[in-house]
Chains A and B, each alone.
Chain A
Amino acid sequence: MAGSEIVPNITVSAWKVWRRNWDVFFKTYKVNFIPPLVEPVLYLLAIGFGLGMFVGEIDGIPYVKYIAPALLAISIMNSAFFECTYSSYVRMYYQKTFDAMIATPLALDEVIAGELLWGATRSLIYSTVMLGVLIAFGVVDLPSSLLILPFSFLAGLLFASIGMCFTAITPGIDALNYPSFLFITPMFLFSGTFFPLDVLPEALQIFARGFLPLTQVVTVTRSLTLSTLSPYFFYSLIWIGIVTVIFFFLSVFLMKRRLIV
């Protein structure tokens, strides 16, 4: 049971932390389910059908079907990232929930792991609801789109882990605005979400393919909703797998460095 600096001390107890957040979520489910229900409808109407009137088709695909998988990817990103930045920070700093938990046999490593698993679960919940809306609008292919559900958990874990790294190093809750506006917002626009990467300067294209997590997630979701594999599909999937593992352990390490003093 020795606590080590580097090797995380994680057992199945992490799910107890996850369960606490799950319980809170369903206690306030009425407000929690509004964003995934309303958001895709608004975007589909305004951008898909409205702007789509002028855009017509991209690569032979109706614009509304082109952006539908991007909406899923953005939702996966936002739900996990914001859960593990602002919400985790509130639990850590203001509500002292982590302190209460580590006064029990739980290790801090498990608290963080539980938070990350919960962030990923939130992505899964939101993308499930949103996928239902998109199916109702008839803008995604079945059954391949259903594979987005397990994928959303993995991709959610990626954004949860990245978010938790920022939470671990932020001096205060306001400073979390920097990653939100300088990292999340540009990704939202420049990851092949609303227009193809091809129209960007080549250097930016390479950057987006090589370094932006959302690019990889959109590549996978678009392949699944259009049931057409992108040449980058497997590259993106492996990219997500490797980077998730790195940031998962990095976030646990950084959080221990912050909180165990």
Chain B
Amino acid sequence: MDSQAPVIEARELTKTFGTFTAVDRVNFSVYPGEVFGFLGPNGAGKTTTMKMIQCVSPKSGGKITVFGLEAGIYQREIKRYLGVVPQETNLDLEFTCYENLLIYSRYFGIPHEDAVPRVDALLKFVQLEEKRDVLIDKLSGGMKRRLVLARALINNPSLLILDEPTIGLDPQARHLIWEKLKILQARGNTIVLTTHYLEEAERLCNRLVIMDSGKILVEGSPSALVSKYVTSDIVETENSPEVIGCLDEIGAMYEVFGDMVQVFTENPREVAKKLFDSCNPGRVFARRGSLEDVFLKLTGRALKD
């Protein structure tokens, strides 16, 4: 992918609000056709970064280009090829699903006769044909989110920006959104998303960055990050002096969280066997290392807000 020109390129990108630095000299590049994720705790600077990409918030320093155009100058040109799913669902409450999409198509200057079939196709794509003439008030949270996704696709965007696309949704609704995003990626769309849900990032993203306090901590594919920052497997067991003694004895890498101990290992069988054989561990549970472990390791377990 590196041979292609990046869709988004940020160099030393900075955003300050007064004395507060929300985004602190970040560098990243997003290439055509990839799903690129921004992860991080609340207040990490993800949404601020999205807003700079979207050309609705001016940068304070550094450089950002979208489609090779400078974001602060060519706002109208860039926004023509963007689809945006904002964090807050901001549909027009007075209108039906159909009307919402049709009115949005006008903002892009799409002629009415082209917009009508497009709106119907998009309603079908997000499985809302039956709700075509229903007011927004009568939709469930998941339906509203799907409609916002359809609205973001009205202009056939080359780049889709999703800020917490599945926030507050039940598992069914979330899976349906994921399925649609996979289809969009298969069609060649470039997608940038922010999320709190690490499972979501792990499933969807080709590459991602983890941000904290305005800085990018790491960048890579989900699997590369897991193998780099945590081990392939994690053994969890109860915290007791006996268990800790055993783990120290075999020189295991572990962390204590309250009444639980997490052991990082490439060899879970051996660790579990040792624990069972000689440490009286209570319950023992082995699982694959995940992005969540990377996330917690890098951003810490303290509450962020």
Contact = CB atoms under 8 A, between A and B. Distances in A.
B108 to A, nearest CB: 6
A258 interface: no
A20 B90 CA distance: 14
Interface string B45-74: 000000000101110000000000000111
A27 interface: yes
B145 interface: no
B31 interface: no
Interface residues of B, number: 31
Interface in B238-256: none
B75 A101 contact: no
B82 A103 contact: yes
A260 B56 contact: yes
B79 to A, nearest CB: 5
Contact of A261 (B57, B79, B92, B94): B57
Interface stretch (B99-107, B114-122, B207-215): B99-107
Contacts, number: 72
The dominant DSSP class at the A interface is loop
Contacts of A105: 76, 79-80, 107-109
Contacts of B155: 104
B263 interface: no
Contact of B84 (A19, A23, A103, A106): A103
Contact of A2 (B17, B56, B73): B73
A20 B77 contact: no
Contacts of A99: 56, 86, 88, 90
B108 A104 contact: yes
A257 interface: no
Interface string A87-120: 0000000011101111111110000000000000
Contacts of A24: 92, 94-95
Interface string A16-37: 1001100110011000000000
Contacts of B79: 103-105
Q: Which of B54, B75, B82, B93 has the most CB of A within 10 A?
A: B75
Contacts of A106: 107
A85 B82 CA distance: 31
A95 B90 contact: yes
Contact of B90 (A19, A27, A96): A96
A23 B103 contact: yes
A42 interface: no
A104 B95 CA distance: 19
Q: Which 3 A-B pairs have the closest CB atoms?
A: A96-B90, A104-B107, A103-B84
18 contacts: A1-B73, A3-B58, A3-B72, A16-B106, A19-B103, A20-B92, A24-B92, A27-B95, A28-B94, A95-B93, A97-B92, A99-B90, A100-B86, A100-B91, A102-B56, A103-B79, A261-B17, A261-B57
Interface of B: 17, 54, 56-58, 72-77, 79-80, 82, 84, 86, 88, 90-95, 99, 103-104, 106-109, 155
Given A1-B76, A99-B90, A103-B56, 12 more contacts: A1-B74, A1-B77, A13-B107, A16-B106, A16-B107, A19-B106, A23-B95, A99-B56, A103-B79, A107-B76, A260-B57, A260-B58
